[in-house]
Amino acid sequence: MGRSMRKGQGFTNLDRSNRMCTRRDFLRTLGAGVIAVSLPGCGVTARRSTQRSGRPNIILIMSDDMGFSDLGCYGGEIRTPNLDGLAAEGLRFTQFYNTARCCPTRASLMTGLYPHQAGIGHMTEDRGFPAYRGDLAGNCVTIAQVLQSAGYRTYMAGKWHVTRYAGKDGPKHNWPLQRGFERFYGTITGAGSFYDPTTLCRDNTYITPANDPEYKPQSYYYTDAISDNTIRYVREHCEQSPGKPFFMYVAYTAAHWPMHAPEADIARNKGKYDGGYENCRRQRFERMKQMGLIRADWNMSPQAGDWDRFEAKDWEARCMEVYAAMVEVMDRGIGRIVDELKMQGTFDNTLILFLQDNGGCAEDMGRGANINQRWVDQFKNPGPMGPDDLQPSIWPPMRTRDGRSVRGGPTVMPGPADTYIAYGRNWANISNTPFREYKHWVHEGGISTPLICHWPAGIRARDRLCHEPGHLVDIMATCVDLAGAQYPSRHADTEIQPMEGVSLAPVFQGRPLRDRAIFWEHEGNRAVRRGKWKLVVKHPGDWELYDIDAARTEMHDLAPRMPEKVEELKPLWESWAARCGVQPWPLKKPSGSS
């Protein structure tokens, strides 16, 4: 059971002057380098590290469309032994937040800004306003750019999804290599087949079976490829640049729809979810209380779905079996990355951070009763794709590389390459146990993420829980702090916005964070949290007020009883929204536009 470090207290003013005050304390304890000759119990023999700097390597791992309670170390029944192991030897945050949606989260994570400031206030399309260009803004920098200027080597594998320019012949000013990464393997867009991903690239070049001998669609699985290329980058870095630290961003697409996983991994979960929604959710809730992740006196938010009334039970259970398999394959890959770090002797001085981009996803992609025939009708006898052909779309109607029409609906069991199905709202409700709402919304179910922090040389905590609230914007500040980097006021002759977050380094040493308010807006859903108080709107409704310490499941709206607290918090959100360029939802065309 995790030991609690500190109960979360109030957040008041953002003190930018105290972000970079802890690195000297860390480096005093780290010395000039790390030597790890053998690692008992891990089954590998480590090489001697020749990294001369005491600054840590940093690996930032993000998963996709997973809920707060999915991991074993956060109460889930899904097998995640490698992430659980990192948590047991490190630190877990219980009140860390994302922005409720894929690309706004990634923009915020990479820049240390709120998504509107980074130009991605909604998704990756140009909506006509500066905060909604769907492309990283020119007056922001990424973690990779800042750390590269401080002598770090920079690598990325996985999902990028912070630019509207994804075409192979289009502009690339906001692709990874143009934003500070030296190497990149992954996808530019936000979703797609795990067997034949759309916009798959190596560095700045689209990959096809014809131009990349490692891309063999008959045996390809994207999650494994992300892990494989991360391991390659670790190994090549240690061979070619042993004296330099590295920053590595590993952005898995598991467990975003479609539900795709190798059959052997799905089979290991056979029958696990035959008991339905309520039983699974109740078991997670009890484990979370036992672990100290949530208070024992909290009530769960309402159950979504009635298992007894669901007719296609085998199909519905299979959806969750595939989802669990996707997470387990990702965890296995993370374990292989850890093994490589140990083999290279860099594990002890590598900070590993794991978090998620939003809550569980209630989108119903591929779940409609009539969807299968509509998709197939549009791709009758499509024929196989050629070795130079690119998968043109992230969703159906589409075909597999060997020419089969991609199918959906409750008569099609998810998992293989010719299926395209989401796990749906009812299972997303399980993923987000015990909270309300989902991806898109800024109630706790949409914005709550695990954060696992593991760094043997720098984190004193072992199996500790931190109840301090934190946000994605804090990751930039943390990386800059620990790397001894200088966050720029100007870059490429452009004035750069100051970062919004605070360094998490004090928490690593058992000290509290600075107080501040945290803000959200997505599709008109709005929130501000300050201390234990959260003011939140589900668009187009009214403001709701919650005491998060007393009941984080947001079941008891205090706004009618405490209008003075509502009026205290509203101006904070309004001031932030004006500063960040937030527009009323639904967005209207700017005046003067055609």
Catalytic site positions: 102, 161
- The per-residue DSSP string of 104-122 comes to HHHHHHHHSS-TTTTTBSS
- The per-residue DSSP string of 463-528 comes to SEEE---EETHHHHHHHHHHHT----SEETTEEPPPP----SHHHHTT-PPPP-EEEEEETTEEEE
Cα angle, residue 556 at apex, residues 551 and 562 outer, rounded to 5°? 105
Cα–Cα distance measured from residue 544 to residue 547, given in angstroms and rounded to the nearest whole number = 10
User: Does an H or E element contain 535, and which?
Assistant: strand 533-537
Question: Is 364 in contact with 424 (CB distance < 8 Å)?
Answer: yes
Cα–Cα distance measured from residue 504 to residue 427, given in angstroms and rounded to the nearest whole number = 32
User: Which one-letter amino acid corresponds to residue 269?
Assistant: N
Cα–Cα distance measured from residue 473 to residue 451, given in angstroms and rounded to the nearest whole number = 13
Return the closest-CA partner of residue 217 out of 458, 403, 425: 403
For residue 482, give Cα distances in angstroms to 147, 253, 262, 382, 502.
10, 28, 39, 53, 12
Question: Is 440 in contact with 523 (CB distance < 8 Å)?
Answer: yes
- The per-residue DSSP string of 372-383 comes to HHHHHHTTSS--
CB-CB neighbours of 286 under 10 Å = 12
Cα–Cα distance measured from residue 486 to residue 479, given in angstroms and rounded to the nearest whole number = 11
For residue 340, give Cα distances in angstroms to 337, 414, 559.
5, 33, 52
557 Cβ neighbours under 8 A, 6+ residues apart: 544, 545, 546
Return the closest-CA partner of residue 347 out of 8, 37, 10, 4: 37
Residues comprising the chain, all counted: 594
Cα–Cα distance measured from residue 129 to residue 124, given in angstroms and rounded to the nearest whole number = 13
Cα–Cα distance measured from residue 78 to residue 348, given in angstroms and rounded to the nearest whole number = 27
User: Which one-letter amino acid corresponds to residue 406?
Assistant: V
Return the closest-CA partner of residue 473 out of 23, 116, 147: 116
User: Does an H or E element contain 252, and which?
Assistant: none
Return the closest-CA partner of residue 481 out of 11, 19, 30: 19
CA atoms within 13 A on the CB side of 526: 23
Cα–Cα distance measured from residue 34 to residue 346, given in angstroms and rounded to the nearest whole number = 7
